[in-house]
Structure 1
Amino acid sequence: MWLSRTRRPRLPPRLPGFLRMLALAALALVGMAPAEPVFAQQGCFLFICPPGVVPQAPRNRRPWFAPGDMFAPQQPAEAPKPAPKKPAEPEGVVYQSADAATQGRKQPQSQFILVMGDRIAGQLAQGLADAYVSDRARVAVIETIADESGYLPTPVDWPPRFPEAVAAARASVAVLAMGNDDLQPIKDGEVMVQPLTDRWMELYAKRVDDVLTALRAVAPRVIVVGLAPVQSTTVSDDYRRLNDILRSRAARAGFPFADVWEGFVDEEGKFAVFGPAVDGQRRRLRLNDGIRFTRAGGRKLAFFVQKDLDRILADPARPSAGMSGGPTERPAALAGPPAGARGTPAAVPVSAPARSLMEGVPPPPVRGRADDFSWPPPAEASQ
């Protein structure tokens, strides 16, 4: 009698003992336990099936016994691979004074960078501390910050604060970074002059001159940092005009001007939230307010200042501009336009070899030299 498809297989109770053992062994060899009667569900018993029924191996089930199991080596479970670690951010420390920087050190730092200015200057200070983290045994970064301040006398008048700040920092070089809050009316007698008018530009340039003169009296080595673009297109355009003034007045005072603008715009010259960081990776550089910088952005901001800083720290006896004299000894072409002039100052004529050394600009090709790619070659042209 054939078994039902839904019933478990049962061996005839009266089979002889050896036949019963043979049947159980056959069931075991095909990987079929009595609890899961695969062949029985197909109407088969002891490999004998009704006509038209083909036995099938059980699906998704490993046989009870496989010949290779006895000799196969046991493979340990593979541990999951740990996720790659993100490179640790540099942990530069910004101090409030030179005494705080040298406290507890057997060998105090020998050079101190003082950063003064507004809230952006605070982020620049952190970026510089991160930049010099590998050289912290020699260089320390000190900050004197007033978040809402600028070259204008209100709300913070910086010139009276310079002597104390420079002395507390024992500044080897002072970095001045402010101007973001300077788009304010300026009082001219009894009149309030509106920002970026011709008269306002004259008054603002004079105020910048006064601030830089006061700083030069206590810190001969100074770097003036330009403004970076912001998310507002209108404000960015205004900052460009302020940068023209800061650049010309810094040159007049004999201070290098760190232009940071190109580091924070895209290929079309527009404000960029993301961009290449100093590690070569594309990172977020600006915060959601479109003004402040991320940690990576502050580090990139410091990158544009570090070039002048390294040069000054390498030879601290020389003035900021790398010249032996003060501003009165500078050529007239380097002094910048007079107060109130608008636009970028005219370029100073520089010889081709000097530009190659200072700016990396290749000299013009010489006829017949290896870098001359004109056609036809000189030998053929003379025939």
Structure 2
Amino acid sequence: MRLATPLFRRVARLCRPAAIACLALAVLATGGLPVSAQDVLRPPGMVPRPPANVPQGGFNLFGGWTLFQPQRPQVEQAPAPKRPPPEPEGIVHGSADEAIQGKKQPPEKFVLVLGDALGAQLAQGLADSYVKDRANPAVIARTDDDLGLLPPAQGGGADLLARLPDAVSAAKAGATLIVLGSSDLRPIRDGDQMVEPLTDRWTELYGRRLDEVFTILRQKAPGVVIVGLAPVASAETSAQYEKLNDVLRTHAARAGLTFAPVWDGFVDEEGKFAPFGAAVDGQRRRLRLNDGVRFTKAGARKLAFFAEKDITRLLAEPKADAPGLVGPGGRPVLSLTDGPRGAAMLSGGAGPAQVIPAAA
């Protein structure tokens, strides 16, 4: 029996749009095809799938992402770390006249630093920190990498005593820091022989030289402070510096001079060399450069810190005529340690004498 009559085909054509509409309504009512079917029919990469941990909701005609996604919680960004304040930058002068020149309020007090490479860094540390917050004093530096306490005739480098008069005259200082010793660890000439450093004979000869130099410093330079050596990365050299510090301390005390130790500021809890440590601002900073000898700017300020107390004390004392010079009325300026002659004059001998403190 043939059903495909012209009448049937005509009726089928008329009913086809209605059937399609009914099918569409059925699809909408059931939420569309299953997800697996959607994945099969969808070309790869057409519509991204949502992350599994993001809940979906709302009406979606085509599957995949919903029209409205839940807002993700915003993560608070940590504030950017604050930049440390810029390093202070002081000025080290070559003379008092240079420090005064062009200043509306020129400094009235001066600190003289005589030393080697370590002395140059200490002078800059003083200029950066100690002087930064004060109108006074100005820092005057006379340094030489090869400067030491040994004379050239005994195997030393540049001669300190030869440079002392000009430095003292140019600085007009109220305090003098001596930062020397590291370049002295060399053989000393003893007649026709050279004596190795830190042997008993070397220590004896070096001690004699210290007594000579320290006596002249006390007579010619105001407010002398002998600054000790700091440890270095080399354990062997540090051990030598520690022994040399003992010699410097002993002979400074014998001459009535102040010794300023710096060692403990640059070692750890076990007494070993420490490239990092507490800076003068209380922060933990790098104090030494990679060579294990020189100082960073923070390290130089800490090095200067150990001399600040003595500098402040010396500059606060009443200014007296320089030791070894002639005082009022042509009388010599005497120290309390000048022996019987000074004692006789102080007890009513030949005229009045101007006295300087023993620790000056």
Same fold (TM over 0.5): yes
Distance apart, 1:83 and its partner CA: 3.8
Q: Deviations over 1:207-266 (max 9, x none)?
A: 112222222232131100011111122221211221111111111221110011111111
Contact 1:117–1:145 (8 Å) recurs in 2 = yes
1:318 CA drift (Å): 7.1
Distance 2:320 2:224 in 1: 11
The one-letter amino acid paired with 1:294 is T
> Runs of 4+ in structure 1 displaced over 4 angstroms?
50-62, 78-82
Quote the Cα distance in structure 1 between the aligned partners of 2:177 and 2:190.
Answer: 29
In the alignment, does 2:107 pair up with 1:109?
yes
**Deviation of 1:46 (Å):** 3.8
Aligned to 2:139: 141
Partner of 2:267: 265
Structure 2 counterpart of 1:381: none
1:226 paired with 2:228, answer yes
Aligned residue number for residue 278 of structure 1: 280
From 173, 182, 185, the counterpart of 2:184 = 182
**Shift of residue 149, structure 1, vs aligned partner:** 1.9
Contact persistence 2:174–2:222 (CA under 8 A): no
Task: Please state whether the residue corresponding to 2:177 is helix, strand or coil.
Answer: strand
Aligned counterparts of 1:168 and 1:60: Cα–Cα separation in 2: 87
Q: How does 1:39-58 map to 2 (within 5 A)?
A: 45-49=27-31, 57=57
- How far is 1:107 from its partner? 1.7
Could you say which residue in structure 2 is the equivalent of 1:380?
Answer: none
DSSP 3-state at the match of 2:194 = strand
Match of 1:254 among 233, 253, 256: 256
Cα 1:81–1:61 change in 2 (3 A) is farther
Match of 2:158 in 1: 156
Are the counterparts in 1 of residues 130 and 308 from structure 2 also a CA contact under 8 Å? no
Q: What CA distance in whole angstroms lies between the structure 1 residues aligned with 2:175 and 2:80?
A: 45
Tell me: CA distance 1:281–1:271, structure 2 relative to 1, closer, same or farther (3 Å).
Answer: same
Q: Which residue of 2 aligns with 1:63?
A: 67
Deviations 1:339-369 (A, max 9, x none): xxxxxxxxxxxxxxxxxxxxxxxxxxxxxxx
Name the amino acid aligned to 1:171: A
Cα distance 1:267–1:145, how it changes in 2: closer, same or farther (>3 A)? same
In structure 1, the residue matched to 2:314 is 312
Aligned match of 2:92 in 91, 94, 97? 94
C-alpha displacement of 1:278: 1.1
Could you tell me how far apart the structure 1 residues matched to 2:168 and 2:287 are?
30
Report the TM-score, using the length of structure 2 for normalisation.
Answer: 0.69
Q: Distance in 2 between matches of 1:89 and 1:60?
A: 59
Q: For residue 158 of structure 1, what is the amino acid of its counterpart?
A: L
Distance in 2 between residues matched to 1:249 and 1:60, nearest whole Å:
90
Match of 1:214 in 2: 216
My pick for the range that moved more, 272-281 or 45-54, is 45-54
Contact 1:222–1:255 (Cα < 8 Å) also in 2 = yes
SS state of the match for residue 268, structure 1? Answer: coil
Structure 1, residues 287-325: CA drift from partner, whole Å, max 9, x if none? Answer: 1111111111111111111111111111143799xxx93
* 1:131 CA displacement: 2.1
Equivalent-residue separation in structure 2 for 1:52 and 1:125 (angstroms): 83
Please report how far the alpha carbon of residue 279 of structure 1 lies from its aligned counterpart in structure 2 after TM superposition. Answer: 1.2
Q: How many Å separate the matches in 2 of 1:266 and 1:81?
A: 33
Q: SS state of the match for residue 197, structure 2? A: coil
Shift in alpha-carbon separation, 1:46–1:101, aligned structure 2, 3 A = same
Aligned position for 2:48: none
More deviation, 131-140/174-183: 131-140
Over aligned residues, Cα RMSD in angstroms?
A: 3.6
Q: Aligned pairs, how many?
A: 284
C-alpha change, 1:273 and 1:80, in structure 2 (3 Å) is: closer
**Alpha-carbon deviation of 1:181?**
1.1
Higher mean Cα deviation, 163-172 or 44-53?
A: 44-53
Q: Distance in 2 between matches of 1:123 and 1:50?
A: 82
**Using the alignment, how far apart are the partners of 2:79 and 2:209 within structure 1?**
61
Q: 2-side partners of 1:222 and 1:260: how far apart?
A: 16
Equivalent in the alignment of 1:325: 335
> Could you say which residue in structure 1 is the equivalent of 2:303?
301
| CA–CA distance in structure 1, aligned partners of residues 280 and 306 of structure 2 | 10
Cα distance, 1:326 vs structure 2: 4.3
Distance 2:275 2:33 in 1: 76
Q: Which amino acid aligns with 2:92?
A: V
Q: What aligned pairs does 1:5-44 form with structure 2 within 5 A after superposition?
A: none
Gapped runs of 5+ residues in structure 2? 1-16, 39-55, 71-75, 323-333, 341-360
Q: Give 1:282's aligned amino acid.
A: R
Secondary structure of 2:147's partner? coil
Check whether the contact 1:127–1:298 (CA below 8 A) recurs between aligned residues: yes
Give the Cα–Cα distance (whole angstroms) in 1 for the partners of residues 65 and 30 of structure 2. Answer: 22
Give the % identical residues.
53
Displacement of 1:63 in angstroms is 3.4
Shift of 1:133: 3.6
Gaps of 5+ in 1: 1-13, 24-43, 67-77, 331-383
Which secondary structure state, in structure 1, belongs to the residue aligned with residue 183 of structure 2? Answer: coil
Query: Higher helix share goes to which structure?
Result: 2
User: Over alpha carbons, which structure has the higher Rg?
Assistant: 2
- Shift of the 212–318 alpha-carbon distance from structure 1 to 2, 3 Å rule, reads same
1:125 to 123, 126, 135: 123
Offset from partner CA, 1:30-87 (integer Å, 9 cap, x none): xxxxxxxxxxxxxx85444468779964699673799xxxxxxxxxxx9995541212
